[in-house]
Structure 1
Amino acid sequence: MRSVEVHSPKRRWTEKRKESLAGYIFVSPFFILFAIFGLFPMLFSFYLGFQKWNGLGEMEYVGFQNFVFVMKDPVFWKALSNTIIIGVLGTVPQLIVGIFLAFALNSALVKFQSAFRAAFFLPYVTSTVAVAIIFGVIFSNQDFGLANVFINAIGLDGVNWQTNEWGVKIAIAVMVFWRWLGYNTIIYLAGMQGIPNDLYEAATIDGATVWQKIRFITIPMLKPIIIFTVFLSTIGSLQLFTEPLVFLGGSMREEGITVVLYLWREAFSNMAFGTASASAIILFFIIIIFATVNSLLVNKLSK
């Protein structure tokens, strides 16, 4: 008779646990690094929001005083309005133009599609500091700045882009638009490639125009992706930091200061880490509100 080898439940459970342990070990570096550099700073910021601390001395519990100070500070509200205006100027046109560019790149009439896709995506992988420096030259206050050259060519006076109230916002918004346009275009293009071509062919036979194809086929089919890009763009615009910092040369003038620049100034210029943390917490809830409202609006408009 053949002997039958019997594995005990205890042994099988041990082998299963070993396999699970190996998997946890492989993924553990991400969670360890996230806990150290992501989760801990976030939790510590919530703790600092209720403390008065200059970064060196002892902490002093002050309750909601930091939040009251931030909410009463007119510079914070100026920073918030700047952030919203720059975000709208740089994000809304970016998403609209991105859909049309993706539609063009997805068309069979466009040649060298791979080259165009790489060219549009290139600004996204370019260093933000380098982009800010280049646009700082383009929007130079001098008459030889490229933007002022075009303005003077049409008979208008040059703009002092770094001190003018709307000049600063437009310059930074153009910078954001240029850098993120290709990123959203590629995302929309990937979504369009999943739309059956039969729909476009049927629309062409029925005499639909390009705009009708985009309105009644492309946009409804891209609804989840549009919501995704609106969500990411909202978060990104409210966290704007590097572009205005480099463009303004670290001056943090009120014409171009953003909320993140405001909390950065409170932390590393005024050494008020409690106020900076309170600003970060307020910004956290503002991002949640704006992202939720934008998602609901896009969801409603795309029905």
Structure 2
Amino acid sequence: MKKKGVFSRFLYSQKVAPYVFVLPFVLTFLIFFAYPVISTIYMSFCKVSGGETVFIGLKNYKTLTNPVFIKALKNSMFYMVVTCAIMIPIPMILATMLNSRHMKGKGFYRSVMFIPALTSVVVAGIVFRLMFGEVSGSFMNQILGLFGHDPLVWLRRPFTVWIVLFALCIWRWTGVNMMYYLSGLQQIPKDLYESADIDGAGRFQQFRYITLPLLKPTTIYVLTISIFGGLAMFTESYLIFNGNNSPNNVGTTIVGYLYRVGLQQNNIGIGSAIGVVLLIIVLLLNVIQLALNGTFKKGE
């Protein structure tokens, strides 16, 4: 029998093998996450012009006090708060209904609810832009016409713009969050509900005292990704307005402003500063909500 070489013994060593298995992840993390983040933080303190990078301190961050950035930040925060308030209870209730043993056609309804998530966001954005068009022949204006209402200019008024963006969000992501909750519901032992039935607990009491507490880990996860998704929203707004310039910046988000400054205006330094601010906001909000939900407590 041939003796294994030094390299083979090293590779098959019980001490070395775990590091070999995690090496691809470590390399991917360092190259595609850590290095870009560190480079972005550094460039946020620099003026980047062509191949020249000049350190200028906090000047890029001082420019972020302009009204357009403040409005973009407010838009993103508002979108994030409302989508979190909508996209947690609605999918939870739908998942609870579909998980009920009395519900018929569960597979059909699950498929129907999840199909929008499989649709390209580009296709969805274009379809919604046409549905909420300004002309009287657009789908939503025809619906309003059935009730005797005049056509609306949906994409030029702040209130109606948010209706369009929230409608697209609900249509596209309700099925995804519902699947998360369905997965969580299926981990809850059926014995708990049977015991509650024997004790005379109603459906609402079972939902309040069994379902809600045991779905807490799923809710924390959905809330975490919803905070990031809400603040990172850009593609939907870009497609709805057929570009990155909405009337009076009514649909400009913080990522949209980053795209405008960093790529369209080719100001990499200020764009990097915007990205760093966004990263800090997302981290702070998620750390706060995880702390409030007891994620960092021992034994939780």
With the shorter chain as reference, the TM-score category is 0.7 to 0.9
Q: Does 1:116 align with 2:115?
A: no
Distance in 2, Cα, partners of 1:30 & 1:139: 44
* Counterparts in 2 of 1:292 and 1:29: CA distance versus 1, 3 Å: closer
Deviation, 1:279, is 0.5
**Match runs of 1:132-281 below 5 Å:** 132-253=125-246, 254-281=249-276
* Counterparts in 2 of 1:183 and 1:299: CA distance versus 1, 3 Å: farther
Deviation, 1:150, is 2.6
Alignment-mate amino acid for residue 272 of structure 1: N
Deviation, 1:108, is 1.0
Residue 53 of structure 2 aligns with which residue? Answer: 59
Alignment-mate amino acid for residue 18 of structure 1: L
Alignment-mate amino acid for residue 286 of structure 1: I
Unpaired segments of 5 or more residues in structure 1? 1-6
The alignment's TM-score, normalised by the length of structure 2, stands at 0.87
Distance in 2, Cα, partners of 1:287 & 1:182: 24
Deviation, 1:34, is 4.1
Q: Secondary structure at the match of 1:52?
A: strand
Q: Secondary structure at the match of 2:52?
A: coil
Residue 284 of structure 1 aligns with which residue? Answer: 279
More deviation in 147-156 or 94-103?
Answer: 147-156
* Counterparts in 2 of 1:87 and 1:198: CA distance versus 1, 3 Å: same
- Is the contact between residue 51 and residue 61 of structure 1 (CA under 8 Å) also seen in structure 2? yes
Deviation, 1:144, is 2.2
* Counterparts in 2 of 1:192 and 1:63: CA distance versus 1, 3 Å: same
Q: Does 1:74 align with 2:61?
A: no
- Is the contact between residue 11 and residue 20 of structure 2 (CA under 8 Å) also seen in structure 1? no
Distance in 1, Cα, partners of 2:19 & 2:105: 45
1:11-51 Cα shifts (integer Å, max 9, x gaps): 99976522256766665555444433333222211111011
The alignment's TM-score, normalised by the length of structure 1, stands at 0.86
Unpaired segments of 5 or more residues in structure 2? none
Distance in 1, Cα, partners of 2:200 & 2:29: 54
Distance in 2, Cα, partners of 1:244 & 1:86: 11
1:117-163 Cα shifts (integer Å, max 9, x gaps): 22222222221111111111222122222222333333333321211
* Counterparts in 2 of 1:110 and 1:46: CA distance versus 1, 3 Å: same
Distance in 2, Cα, partners of 1:198 & 1:13: 56
- Is the contact between residue 244 and residue 256 of structure 1 (CA under 8 Å) also seen in structure 2? yes
- Is the contact between residue 85 and residue 169 of structure 1 (CA under 8 Å) also seen in structure 2? no
Distance in 2, Cα, partners of 1:166 & 1:294: 28
Aligned residues: 290
Deviation, 1:165, is 1.0
- Is the contact between residue 89 and residue 170 of structure 1 (CA under 8 Å) also seen in structure 2? no
C-alpha root-mean-square deviation of aligned residues, in Å?
A: 2.6
Residue 98 of structure 1 aligns with which residue? Answer: 91
Residue 4 of structure 1 aligns with which residue? Answer: none
More deviation in 224-233 or 152-161?
Answer: 152-161
Distance in 2, Cα, partners of 1:99 & 1:242: 26
The runs of 4+ residues in structure 1 deviating greater than 6 Å are 11-14
- Is the contact between residue 128 and residue 243 of structure 1 (CA under 8 Å) also seen in structure 2? yes
Distance in 2, Cα, partners of 1:196 & 1:252: 51
* Counterparts in 2 of 1:24 and 1:298: CA distance versus 1, 3 Å: closer
Distance in 2, Cα, partners of 1:16 & 1:92: 56
Deviation, 1:298, is 5.0
Distance in 2, Cα, partners of 1:207 & 1:149: 50
Distance in 2, Cα, partners of 1:147 & 1:273: 40
* Counterparts in 2 of 1:58 and 1:13: CA distance versus 1, 3 Å: closer
- Is the contact between residue 98 and residue 188 of structure 1 (CA under 8 Å) also seen in structure 2? yes
Distance in 2, Cα, partners of 1:142 & 1:205: 59
- Is the contact between residue 98 and residue 106 of structure 2 (CA under 8 Å) also seen in structure 1? yes
- Is the contact between residue 72 and residue 252 of structure 2 (CA under 8 Å) also seen in structure 1? yes
